[in-house]
Amino acid sequence: MISYTDGTSEIIKTDESWKFSDGPIVYNCVYDGEIYDARLEQKGWCEAGFDDSGWKQVSIFEKPTARLESHTMPAIKVVQTIKPKELKPYGNSRLFDMEQNFSGWVRIKVSGEKGTKIKIRFAEDIHDDGTIDVSSNENAKATAEYILNGEGIEIYEPQFTYFGFKYAEITSENGSFDLKDIEGRVVHTDNCQIGDFSCDNELVNKIHRATVWSQKSNMLGYPMDCPQRDERLGWFGDAQVTAEEAMFNFDMAQFYENWFEGIKDNQNEKTGDLPIISPQPYIWDEGVEWSSTYFTMLWQYYQVYGDKRILTRHNNTMKRYMQFLDSISTDFILPMGWIGDWGSLVNGWKEGQPESVPTAFYYWDAKILSKIAKVLNNEGDRLFYEKLANDIRAAYNKNISITKQEIILMAVKWQTLFRFTSE
């Protein structure tokens, strides 16, 4: 809506009078990158008086049934600009070291002949011979291409993709160009940094700085597992083990609240099961260990921010999931899945081992629900879930045995993971 100085207003809405046209971004992919053909730019297209006679009419569809809501978390945006160091060139390629691994892209200022294609490849490492090493990108092409329009100095930075990288290689495939400037553009959800840490041990300080940068690189709209390869998914397990650190270092309240809402929306309507990746439509998977992240992080969120509303909003969803776990348990013991103590250091560990882990989370989910019921003054639920937790614990201690090495390693992991769970 536009409000005019004479007190009147006008609503600009989409209808059959709207037009569209192809633009200079001819390809984009979150994994593979972007192709921008500057020759296709239409000067002044966003200004009044532009001649759109060559544009096409839009097609009209029925409006969607979903409710349109405003964005509830900070925007993803450029939060920092880095000046890189140029390394030794090779072939017709120039290589730049950002001297920091981060998520984002580069901005270049160039000039050259019309049609010259510039290719920018992104990677986290270089080979011993000084050439770019893209192996950690796995199947992601992680490449931006810019085709010059030949009209003086041109500035380009990608708009619909991002990369996890420390190095950027710039090459021309079909002609020469003058690279006048290059900058690294750090991009992530603008969760303000609110915490810091330092001590007299520089190694520990470096570990903390690396942790903060890693967190920045893995919060682009949702908590991710990685920013560089062809995955970049909201795996629950990764979010779970970083939540305490994230809430210490950054203001994560709106970010996590938005993510929790997606998990709630994706609960399986028929069974009550929860996903292990969000955002993405529900897919069945044997992932009690990671679906339980929903419980663990909601409780951590409450303990950090003291917001009872988050518990009230998600309480029924958690209770529905507990009913699902009840339905797949046998005498309070859950079946073994494929996650287990993921990434365990136990010699000979295999996926899903030890079989005790799903039941351990089953117990902890019940304990969390009893704690939530106490906060929400629901004595009936508190007693119910406290009894359920005790029954699961008794069955666990009676039926499950694990090795001494597994006990030690799991104790260390769980002590770290559940520090927020003390009474």
Which burial class, exposed, middle or buried, applies to 61 when counting CB atoms under 10 A from its CB (0-12, 13-18, 19+)? exposed
pTM of the model: 0.90
Residue 402 pLDDT: 64
What is residue 284's predicted lDDT score, i.e. its pLDDT? 85
pLDDT of the residue at 70 = 82
**Residue 68 DSSP symbol:** P
Task: Give the pLDDT of residue 408.
Answer: 60
What value does the mean pLDDT of the chain take? 93
Please name the CATH architecture into which domain 233-421 falls. Answer: Alpha/alpha barrel (1.50)
pLDDT of residue 414: 52
Query: Residues, the chain, total?
Result: 423
Which pLDDT score, from 0 to 100, does residue 423 have?
41
Query: What are the extents of the domains in the chain?
Result: 76-189, 233-421
**pLDDT value of position 422:** 43
Question: How many angstroms separate the CA atoms of 305 and 49, rounded?
Answer: 51
Q: Do domains 76-189 and 233-421 have the same CATH topology?
A: no
Low-confidence ranges of the chain (pLDDT < 50): 416-423
CATH for the 76-189 domain, from 2.20.25.10, 2.60.120.260, 2.30.30.100, 1.10.150.130: 2.60.120.260
**What is the model's pLDDT at position 420?**
41
Q: Which string of b and e fits 354-369 if b means at least 16 CB within 10 Å? A: bebbbbbbbbbbbbbb
- Confidence (pLDDT) at 280: 87
User: What's the CA gap between 325 and 363, in Å, rounded?
Assistant: 10
pLDDT of residue 419: 46
- Where do we find the tokens 């062809």? 230
User: What is the amino acid identity at position 136?
Assistant: S
